[in-house]
């Protein structure tokens, strides 16, 4: 099982990495997606050192939720900021099962919900929270904003 990845084993010019832990999901347009995530950090005034997205199952994310946060419930995303400096160094765990279920419940595509959750995690690292209704509204507006930027970028540069 992959928990808290080792940043030193990832030689690459990219600062954003995607890992799939025993789940079936495709993530198209990764270069454009990474550019949009970088845009989030730039526009929100945060420096990005390294960011790992780990896509896993409900079971795996529930285990992480219980072990590290002492929560006993399913969630779609858990964000760990591992930074020791002002530059963001983090891991974001996303349950593909939960994203699929949320997409069905909301009546939207899996792809749209997955991108929303990916951006949601980045926004948490930029200082946005979702503990109350006002915070949820603010982060949702930001998610929509960056989803629009991403979709426009895809239309311009497929």
Lowest mean pLDDT among 20-29, 53-62, 91-100: 20-29
**36-42 mean pLDDT:** 96
Task: Please identify, in words, the CATH class of the domain defined by 7-156.
Answer: alpha beta
C-alpha distance from residue 110 to each of 11, 32, 80, 113 (Å): 31, 18, 24, 5
Chain segment 74-83, per-residue pLDDT in tens: 999 999 999 9
Residue 67: how many other CB atoms lie within 10 Å: 10
Average pLDDT estimate for 71-76? 93
Average of pLDDT values for 130-152? 96
Distances (CA, A) of 54 to 58, 95, 98, 133, 149: 12, 9, 14, 28, 23
The verdict on pTM exceeding 0.85 is: yes
> For position 22, what pLDDT does the model report?
86
Q: State the Cα angle at 117 between 17 and 55, rounded to 5°.
A: 45
What residues does each domain of the chain span? 7-156
How high is the mean pLDDT of the chain?
A: 91
pLDDT at 42 over 90: yes
Query: How would residue 1 be classed by pLDDT, with cut points 50, 70 and 90?
Result: very low
Residue 9 has pLDDT above 60, yes or no: no
């Amino acid at each position: 099982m992959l928990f808290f990845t080792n940043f030193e084993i990832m030689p690459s010019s990219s600062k954003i990495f995607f890992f799939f832990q025993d789940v079936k999901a495709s993530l198209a347009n990764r270069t454009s997606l990474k550019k949009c995530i970088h845009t989030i950090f730039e526009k929100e005034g945060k420096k990005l050192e390294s960011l790992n997205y780990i896509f896993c199952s409900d079971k795996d994310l529930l285990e992480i939720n219980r072990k590290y946060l002492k929560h006993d419930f399913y969630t779609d995303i858990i964000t760990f900021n591992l930074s020791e400096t002002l530059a963001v160094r983090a891991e974001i765990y996303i349950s593909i099962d939960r994203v699929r279920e949320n997409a069905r419940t909301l009546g939207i595509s899996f792809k749209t919900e997955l991108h929303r959750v990916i951006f949601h995690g980045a926004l948490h690292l930029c200082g946005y929270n979702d503990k109350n209704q006002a915070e949820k509204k603010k982060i949702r507006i930001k998610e929509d904003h960056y989803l629009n930027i991403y979709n426009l970028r895809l239309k311009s540069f497929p």
